[in-house]
């Protein structure tokens, strides 16, 4: 048989088809990058169950910033709660002694120090413990709970990359009680809130993962339901529909099917407009000024409407937004149910009328409130809920 020479046009078509098939074979299966396994146990909820173990980061140069929130929280929690402090490796003795001095100031009896475990991890790190990992329950006796971390972040921001490593450091220290699980998703744990068995996220998570082929909230919800084996609510349709930054900055579940949602209008009625608290943005140094614009307020209203549409009783609480990451948020706390009591470790900002209104909101819902001062850290875009990660609940 003799081969006939093909024309350049035919050859071009053939080579084009071959190239297309190769591209599909190599990349087609990775159009959407998302967790494809199933969790062996549910994620820990935000509010129900007594605290059993919590993790915080300690960085000596930030001692003055964390002194008030750490003091208020660690004095308030039950004395049976185990406390893990992650510290950067290689601290000098005077730096290491600073943690001991902090613990002694918080509890001069020494009882707190006796139930604190210290885990060293590559430094430098930040103080934002909460965002490092989602945490599951143990799937059974003797089986590890999962510490679920996102895909590895860039090393250009050394602190944030080393924060990511703290999850593995805790898992190694735990002697099998925890296992680190890295998933192909970009997130902070603050992008999720868990109400009993329901997982709630918003379009901030969508925005972080569009480069993975997750193009809309329908795809995001589908992937999360398959992975988490739980009902998932996604608030908004497009990034910017809901308040920016972490979801607890504007919302938190309390009792089942009851949710607190921030209310800038209520805050404005208390503090007036313009409102300048006298604090500076931790990144830019620029004075913080409240943003009570219609655009900002509408983001909170959308979240409230959509939670109501999902069958929740929505209760409003004052919230002062300043920019896309900075809020006086009373929803970003730590919560537990213990011995028949609902307990909220609620952030306060030193604005008496606002703090009082928020406290009364919780108390009307039957919550015992322990205030935690966060005026020193909120300009850096976090509150007590950002520096405490709950590792275990009863």
Alpha carbon separation from 299 to 206, 242, 262, 350 (Å, rounded): 16, 4, 10, 25
Does 9 fall in a domain?
no
What is the structure's pLDDT at 229? 87
pLDDT tens digit at each of 394 positions of the chain: 333 444 444 445 444 544 444 433 433 334 456 676 678 899 999 999 999 999 999 999 999 999 999 999 999 999 999 999 999 999 999 999 999 999 999 999 999 999 999 999 999 999 999 999 999 999 999 999 999 999 999 999 999 999 999 999 999 999 999 999 999 999 999 999 999 889 999 999 999 999 999 999 999 999 999 899 899 999 999 999 999 999 999 999 998 899 999 999 999 999 999 999 999 999 999 999 999 999 999 999 999 999 999 999 999 999 999 999 999 999 999 999 999 999 999 999 999 999 999 999 999 999 999 999 999 999 999 999 999 999 999 9
Query: Looking at the chain, which runs of residues are DSSP E strands?
Result: 51-57, 82-88, 116-121, 134-135, 145-149, 178-182, 193-195, 198-202, 232-235, 251-253, 258-263, 313-321, 327-329, 334-338, 341-348, 367-373, 389-393
Does 2 fall in a domain?
no
Does 205 fall in a domain?
yes
Does 11 fall in a domain?
no
Other C-beta atoms lying within 10 Å of the C-beta of residue 135: 23
Predicted structure pTM score: 0.90
Does 23 fall in a domain?
no
Calpha distance 166→140 (Å, rounded): 24
Domain of 282: which CATH number?
3.75.10.10
The helix (H) or strand (E) run that includes residue 163 is helix 158-173
Answer positive or negative: Cα dihedral of 151, 207, 388, 53.
negative
Does 132 fall in a domain?
yes
Does 169 fall in a domain?
yes
- Domain encompassing residue 60: 33-393
Domain count, the chain: 1
Does 16 fall in a domain?
no
């Amino acid at each position: 048989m003799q081969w006939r020479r093909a024309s350049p046009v035919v050859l071009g078509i053939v080579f084009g088809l071959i190239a297309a098939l190769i591209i599909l074979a190599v990349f087609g299966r990775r159009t959407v990058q998302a967790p494809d396994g199933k969790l062996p146990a549910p994620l820990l909820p935000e509010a129900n169950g007594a605290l059993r173990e919590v993790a915080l980061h300690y960085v000596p140069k930030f001692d003055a910033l964390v002194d008030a929130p750490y003091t208020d929280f660690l004095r308030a929690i039950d004395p049976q709660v185990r406390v893990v402090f992650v510290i950067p490796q290689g601290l000098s003795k005077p730096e290491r002694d600073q943690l001991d001095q902090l613990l002694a100031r918080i509890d001069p009896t020494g009882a707190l120090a006796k139930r604190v475990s210290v885990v060293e991890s590559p430094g430098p790190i930040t103080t934002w413990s909460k965002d490092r990992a989602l945490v599951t329950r143990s799937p059974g006796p003797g089986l590890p709970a999962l510490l679920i971390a996102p895909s590895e972040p860039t090393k250009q921001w050394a602190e944030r990359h080393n924060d990511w490593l703290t999850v593995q450091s805790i898992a190694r220290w735990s002697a099998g009680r925890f296992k680190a699980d890295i998933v192909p998703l970009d997130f902070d744990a603050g992008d999720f809130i868990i109400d009993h068995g329901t997982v709630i996220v918003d379009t901030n998570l969508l925005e972080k993962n569009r480069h993975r082929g997750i193009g809309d909230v329908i795809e995001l919800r589908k992937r999360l339901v398959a992975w988490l084996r739980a009902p998932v609510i996604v608030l908004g349709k497009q990034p910017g529909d809901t308040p920016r930054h972490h979801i607890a900055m504007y919302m938190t579940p309390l009792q089942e099917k009851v949710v607190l949602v921030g209310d800038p209008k209520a805050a404005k009625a208390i503090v007036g407009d313009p409102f300048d608290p006298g604090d500076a943005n931790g990144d830019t140094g620029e004075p913080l000024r409240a943003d009570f614009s219609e655009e900002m307020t509408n983001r909170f209203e959308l979240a409230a409407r959509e939670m109501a549409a999902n069958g929740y009783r929505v209760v409003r609480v004052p919230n002062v937004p300043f920019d896309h990451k900075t809020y006086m948020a009373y929803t970003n706390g730590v919560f537990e149910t213990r011995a028949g009591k609902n307990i909220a470790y609620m952030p306060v900002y030193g604005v008496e009328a606002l703090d009082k209104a928020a406290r009364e909101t919780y108390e009307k819902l039957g919550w015992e409130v322990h205030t935690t001062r966060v005026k020193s850290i909120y300009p850096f875009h976090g509150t007590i809920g950002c520096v405490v990660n709950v590792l275990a609940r009863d």
